[in-house]
Amino acid sequence: MGVGLPKTVTTLNSGHSMPLLGMGTAAFPVEPQDLVESAILRAIELGYTHFDTASVYQTEPVLGRAIRQALDRGLIASRDHIFITTKLWCGHANRNLVVPALRESLQALGLDYVDLYLIHFPAKFESLEKGFGVRSEDLVPLDMKGTWQGMEECVRLGLAKSIGVSNFTSKKLSQILSFATIPPAVNQVEMHPLWQQWKLRDFCAEKGIHVSAYSPLGGKNAPWGSNAVFDNEELKQIAEAKGKTLAQICSRWAYEQGVSFLPKSYNKERLKENMEVFDWELSKDELKKMRSLPQSRIFKAEKLVSANGLFKSVEDLWDGEV
């Protein structure tokens, strides 16, 4: 099975364990299915056990096929040895649509349950169509309480072991915590050295919610992303001094913050490099330099902002956390 991962897992507030390194599968435009499937199988051969998908990514079916292949080939002993996250799309953010949406995802994955089910955004679309081509008139207020009740039902039905959210601010998490009978186990958010999420991480630590970092390299090559992390001179200097890649510096930094991290790569060498961050450390001086880097959110989700909608500005959407 390759070199395998060190024991780098965290225990969520649900009592379930989650590997701290995961493979992201979001790519826009969508990559060819055979490329994605072979990359996932390579990752499993290397020792990856945590895979992150979403209904909107269109990678649930190919991830499911790769898992079945891995089981057939003996690369993984059983379903229980992998951790699968998927997400509820905004069009299904409705009390009565959550469970059917997860059942649809499970059918696509070919699984009986997911390990983690997340509300993808704190937003509701009138249209059930999956995609980011949302019109301002499709944006409607989210029934957060009703949607969360649907998420809790997924746990009670055994369809999800843990539930959580993605792209939620401290304020929006507070709203859920005010009525939740099952608290969110995870908040998956943009996090990297140029957007370190200090306020949100402090809040989540206080409430026992695990933070998971998507785009730990700043969303390089994503339509909404930026090369700012890779172009940062301070990070380049740290990488050169350490004899590591800049991506490894970012991943190690995330690991040392106690968060899980989900780099997306279909390249075999980079998949391997992403794993080689557990047996060395950043120095106090290096961490201090990284702490002092200028901060700015890269993914602002402007498409969720509308003069007539719930979020009238980017500041509204992120509750000032920009």
The DSSP element (H or E) to which 87 belongs, if any, is: strand 83-88
**Which alpha helices (H) appear in 187-279, and where do they start and end?**
198-207, 228-231, 233-242, 246-256, 268-275
Euclidean distance between CA atoms 19 and 273, whole angstroms: 17
| Burial of residue 169, with CB atoms counted within 10 A of its CB: 0-12 exposed, 13-18 middle, 19 or more buried | buried
Q: Which residues are catalytic?
A: 57
In angstroms, what CA-CA distances link 153 with 45, 97, 242, 305?
A: 35, 11, 48, 30
Under DSSP, is residue 302 helix (H, G, I), strand (E, B) or coil? helix
Q: Tokens standing for 68?
A: 């079945």
192 annotated ligand binder = no
- Give the number of other Cβ atoms within 10 Å of residue 220's Cβ: 19
Q: b/e for 227-263, b at 16 or more Cβ within 10 A?
A: ebbbebeebeebbeebebbbbbbbbbbbbebebbbbb
Distance of CA 147 to the CA centre of its chain: 19
* Known binding residues: 120
* Known binding residues for substrate: 120
